[in-house]
């Protein structure tokens, strides 16, 4: 029988316990939402808005709907079983959890290379610092967080502050770019173009790979689990998805305003930085500096989220691992990402788009495993009667993501000329 991983006991239902639960839910909510709107999504948004124009709004809508179903299922399954995703997968289909862990860890590693590159681009735009030096500085800052005595608290505070900075700056860029809101709204529901490769890539960059499990695993580590926590968990998941939806859409509008004004954004250059060009066109030199701040905030939250969540999958191979060991493993993970970033010559912007597509291929694999567990292993649910409507919605989305992955393998690799 699959061994359930140790999870901290929940505090009694006192004021202190209620406050602790609220903090845990906020922590999971912001970690998930900020990971979903990282430098990869910002780069993807600029790239695909240039290619598709207002029709890209439909891809964002689809990504939000998929995000809702995926997160609602994953958060609930993890909370009810009190197990991490690879352990659930192994219990449902022996050995599958190891496959899932390898895919998520490898995808998270490559995504983190892009995140570090994104931090380098951000610092370069902010203060003209060499991107390699800037990326290394951001990675070292993330390492310092996980080496601190209160790593969890430090991680949460960085994510919270970065979230508000990101929202304020993107909103400013949207206002000054003057986007055609009516056209964007129309094409959100009636697009002139539907591109499966684009949808798969954007879904992968916002809910695929490690991002799928970031919030759920954070809840598990905080001890906010069990059937009685489901109402609060649902509200947190919905709030997190609402935050990501708002951020995604206003970022799209900011870039669309620039594109609609007739500004030509270069996507072909080796060091092309489409998002930076869009912010610069919208607000001049100040806009470009603001872009740097947005990109840096996004990159830092994504470096932290990718490393933290990817390392949580190591429990598939070593279930008994304490917090200190996990933090040290996270430091090693970031160090490996930094070394790869220094060695790899692929431009960060191109890598972020490509890895988003790769994570879109990983998404249906993991979702299939967890839904199968909820369907065929009621013994893992600790007496909880899993909602049939949520399971059916999950199955529909799972089939859709499998189809999109199948249709998009060639186009995704073509993005990098492979």
The number of residues in the chain equals 418
Q: What is the pLDDT, as a whole number, of residue 238?
A: 82
Sign of the CA dihedral with 9 first, then 12, 15, and 21 last:
positive
Contact 114, 358 (CB under 8 A): no
Q: What is the pLDDT, as a whole number, of residue 107?
A: 82
Q: Token pair of 71, please?
A: 């997160």
CB proximity list for 323: less than 8 A, separation 6 or greater: 151, 152, 221
Most confident of the ranges 29-38, 94-103, 311-320: 94-103
**Three-class DSSP labels, 12-36:** CCCHHHHHHHHHHHHHHHHHHHHHH
**Three-class DSSP labels, 171-238:** HHHHHHHCCCHHHHHHHHHCCCCCCHHHHHHHHHHHCCCCHHHHHHHHHHHHCCCCHHHHHHHHHHHH
Q: How confident is the model at residue 389 (pLDDT cuts 50, 70, 90)?
A: very high
Contact 115, 211 (CB under 8 A): no
pLDDT at 14 over 60: no
- Residue ranges per domain, the chain? 15-414
At 197-209, the pLDDT tens digits run 777 777 766 666 7
Q: How confident is the model at residue 10 (pLDDT cuts 50, 70, 90)?
A: very low
Q: How confident is the model at residue 349 (pLDDT cuts 50, 70, 90)?
A: low
At 56-77, the pLDDT tens digits run 889 888 888 888 888 889 988 9
Q: Token pair of 26, please?
A: 């906020």
Residue with tokens 């409507």: 389
Q: What are phi and psi of 104, to 5 degrees?
A: -70, -40
Q: Token pair of 85, please?
A: 């995703």
Residue 269 burial (C-beta neighbours within 10 Å; 0-12, 13-18, 19+): exposed
Q: What is the pLDDT, as a whole number, of residue 2?
A: 46
Q: How confident is the model at residue 271 (pLDDT cuts 50, 70, 90)?
A: low
Residue with tokens 């790769």: 358
Q: Rounded to two decimals, what is the model's pTM? A: 0.81
Q: Token pair of 306, please?
A: 């990718």
Q: What is the pLDDT, as a whole number, of residue 339?
A: 92
Mean pLDDT within 198-224: 76
Q: Token pair of 418, please?
A: 């492979």
CATH number, domain 15-414, options 3.40.630.10, 2.60.40.1930, 1.20.120.1200, 1.20.1740.10: 1.20.1740.10
At 288-322, the pLDDT tens digits run 888 888 888 888 888 888 888 889 888 888 877 77
Provide the 10 A C-beta neighbour count for residue 68. Answer: 19
Q: Which helix (H) or strand (E) holds 60?
A: helix 56-81
Q: How confident is the model at residue 12 (pLDDT cuts 50, 70, 90)?
A: very low
Contact 21, 224 (CB under 8 A): yes
Q: Which of 36, 34, 42, 139 is nearest to 349 (CA)?
A: 42
Q: What Å distances lie between residue 118 and 49, 88, 336, CA to CA? A: 19, 33, 16
State the Rg of the chain over Cα.
20
Most confident of the ranges 229-238, 360-369, 381-390, 405-414: 381-390
């Amino acid at each position: 029988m699959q061994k359930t991983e140790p999870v901290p006991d929940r505090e009694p239902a006192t004021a202190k316990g209620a406050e602790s639960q609220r903090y845990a839910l906020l922590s999971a909510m912001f970690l998930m939402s900020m990971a979903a709107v990282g430098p990869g999504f910002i780069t993807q948004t600029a790239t695909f808005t240039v290619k598709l124009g207002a029709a890209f709004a439909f891809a964002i809508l689809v990504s939000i709907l998929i995000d809702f179903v995926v997160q609602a299922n994953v958060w609930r399954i993890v909370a009810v079983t009190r197990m991490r995703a690879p352990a659930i997968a192994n219990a449902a289909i022996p050995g599958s959890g190891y496959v899932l862990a390898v895919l998520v860890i490898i995808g998270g590693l490559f995504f983190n290379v892009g995140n570090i590159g994104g931090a380098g681009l951000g610092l370069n735009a902010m203060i003209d610092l060499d991107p390699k030096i800037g990326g290394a500085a951001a990675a070292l800052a993330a390492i310092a967080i996980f080496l601190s005595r209160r790593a969890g608290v430090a991680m949460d505070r960085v994510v919270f502050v970065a979230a508000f900075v990101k929202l304020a700056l993107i909103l400013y860029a949207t206002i000054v770019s003057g986007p055609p809101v009516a056209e964007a709204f129309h094409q959100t529901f009636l697009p002139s173009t539907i591109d499966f490769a684009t949808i798969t890539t954007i879904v992968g960059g916002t809910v695929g790979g490690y991002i799928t499990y970031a919030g759920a695993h954070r809840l598990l580590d905080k001890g906010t689990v069990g059937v009685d926590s489901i109402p609060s968990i649902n509200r947190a998941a919905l709030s997190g998805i609402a935050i990501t939806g708002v951020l995604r859409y206003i970022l799209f509008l900011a870039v669309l305003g620039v594109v609609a004004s007739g500004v030509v954004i270069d996507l072909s250059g080796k060091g092309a930085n489409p998002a930076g060009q869009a912010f610069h066109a919208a607000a001049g030199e100040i806009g470009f500096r603001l872009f740097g701040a947005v990109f840096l905030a996004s990159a830092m939250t994504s470096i932290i989220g990718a490393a933290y969540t990817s390392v949580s999958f190591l429990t598939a191979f070593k279930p008994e691992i304490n917090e200190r060991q996990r933090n040290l493993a996270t430091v090693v993970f970031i160090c490996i990402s930094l070394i790869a970033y220094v060695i790899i010559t692929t431009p960060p912007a191109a890598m972020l788009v490509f890895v988003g597509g790769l994570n879109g291929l990983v998404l249906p694999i993991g979702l299939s495993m967890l839904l199968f567990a909820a369907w065929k292993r009621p013994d893992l649910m600790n007496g909880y009667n899993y909602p049939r409507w949520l399971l059916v919605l999950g199955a529909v989305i799972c089939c859709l993501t499998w189809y999109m992955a199948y249709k998009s393998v060639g186009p995704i690799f073509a993005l990098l000329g492979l």
